[in-house]
Amino acid sequence: MASSIASLLIPAALFLGEPANVPHATYERGLFCDSVGLVASIVRIADRGGDPHKAVSDLNRTLDRKACFYTTNVDVLMEVGQFQRSIAANSTTYGIYEVYISAVGHQTTEIGNLAWKFSRPMVMYTLREAPADNSVSAQADKLTH
């Protein structure tokens, strides 16, 4: 079970707390969905031991659209936005964040890195480490509960 949840995270670029005030785009891997609820749905499946790849494929087939994608390659150019909510899985609390995806896929060539960029960034949501308890979002979350 732990490996299913861990595989949904972005292992190459985890951070503690919320992102810096000035975000910068980095190439990442992980789970990306067009709503917070869909990220939570995939996390619940993985927490019960399900295969994240199959869960994403089944969800997209059921919705008849590409609502989520999951990549183990570091090929999603994204900037991290606002913390959305916490989610518990595998005896740990994770965070779901809004992200701005400006490219999916890249290739290193002899002339440099080539990326398949979008004309406008796509807003999606992804799973990351939960914000630090003393962050503004975590304090606001505590006040609402």
Q: Considering only residues 87 and 137, tell me which one the structure prediction assigns the higher pLDDT.
A: 87
Number of Cβ within 10 Å of residue 14's Cβ equals: 11
For 66-83, the pLDDT digits (tens) are: 999 988 877 788 899 999
Going by C-beta distance under 8 Å and a sequence separation of 6 or more, which residues neighbour residue 67?
33, 34, 35, 38, 59, 60
| 7 pLDDT tier (thresholds 50, 70, 90) | low
Q: Considering only residues 6 and 140, tell me which one the structure prediction assigns the higher pLDDT.
A: 6
Query: What pTM does this model have?
Result: 0.71
Please give the Cα distance from 102 to 74 (Å, whole number): 14
Nearest to 10 by CA among 96, 84, 104, 109: 96
Percent of the chain, pLDDT > 90? Answer: 39
Q: Considering only residues 3 and 4, tell me which one the structure prediction assigns the higher pLDDT.
A: 4
